[in-house]
Structure 1
Amino acid sequence: MGLSGKLVAAVEFKAGGDLFHELLRYKPDQFATITPEKVQGCDLHEGEYGKVGSIINWRYTHDGKAKMAKELIQAIDEEKRMIKLKVLEGDVMEEFKEFIVTFHVETKGGIDLVTWTFEYETLNDDGEHPISLLAYFIAITKDIENHHAGKN
């Protein structure tokens, strides 16, 4: 039995939360153009971008190593600007029995916050919590914000 956990990070996003939601939902392949040192590719494996039940393959670099992840789009809520992804295969599954990434945008006081939530269970009791991976997602969010600064 492993450790179950939940990590949450909310990051101010000055380029517009709708932009980020639309990018992640319909054009995740553009991440490789926007932040090529972190994301090398995003390919549709099954279904179509932005649809529940679709499967996406990510190729990325984390902690200086080339990695991959195959994710199932489990849920989308347009009103909450939320997307829930379950990791099916890939490097993260070498350490985790289950790994779910939820992204949503909320606006508070006119400020858009991009919130990442990881829900996970490690393979064993001495497994590490995915703190560096959460920092990586925050860095990608800031890269996208910087890329779109002045373009909205």
Structure 2
Amino acid sequence: MALSGKLIGYVNISKSGDVFHDLLRHKPHEMVAIAPDKVHDCELHEGERGAVGSVITWHFTSEGKKQTSKQIIESVNEENHTIVLKVIGGELVDGKYKSFTNTFHVEPKGDGKVATWTFEFEKLDTSVPYPTAEMDYLCDLIKHLDAHNGTK
């Protein structure tokens, strides 16, 4: 059984990729206001908010449990609205994954757009489940943000 894996989630969206890129990168506090039951805080530890190399901790509730995810921004591409985040701490990786990278980007699809989350990970052992609940959480968050009227 493989210890390395890749999981991809797609969400059709109505808003532009700029909106989501800006929220994730520069304005996470707005996500807290839009979805307070899902996202509680985004704490900056090092660097400048949204800059490559900055370290942040997300505080959120998934599956009824309050959790954290400490991440470093590895790369950003403004053109295709891509953000690559390496998870370096928190309940997701502690005791479960040797490595976990989370990539978000938006691309055109037909007459609309699609937001894509890609997880690339290496499990510590075969007993660790695939991160499908985490993928479901992030896809649901994007749907919630897309439906919010104050997000343009």
- TM-score (normalised: structure 2): 0.93
Which residue matches 2:78?
Answer: 78
Identify, as 1 or 2, the structure richer in helix. Answer: 1
Which residue matches 2:125?
Answer: 124
| Paired residues for 1:42-81 under 5 Å | 42-81=42-81
Which residue matches 2:143?
Answer: 142
Paired residues, number: 151
Distance (Å, rounded) in 2 between the aligned partners of 1:134 and 1:67: 15
Identity within the alignment, % = 42
Which residue matches 1:13?
Answer: 13
Moved over 6 A (4+): none
Q: Could you say what secondary structure the match of 1:20 adopts?
A: helix
Can you list the C-alpha shifts for 1:90-147, whole angstroms capped at 9, x where unaligned? 0011321111100001012231111000011111122100001100001100110111
Structure 1 gaps of 5+ residues are: none
Distance (Å, rounded) in 2 between the aligned partners of 1:108 and 1:136: 22
Report the RMSD for the aligned CA atoms in angstroms: 1.6
Can you list the C-alpha shifts for 1:46-84, whole angstroms capped at 9, x where unaligned? 111121000111111111111111100000011121000
- TM-score (normalised: structure 1): 0.93
Structure 2 gaps of 5+ residues are: none
Would you say 1:108 and 2:109 are equivalent positions?
yes
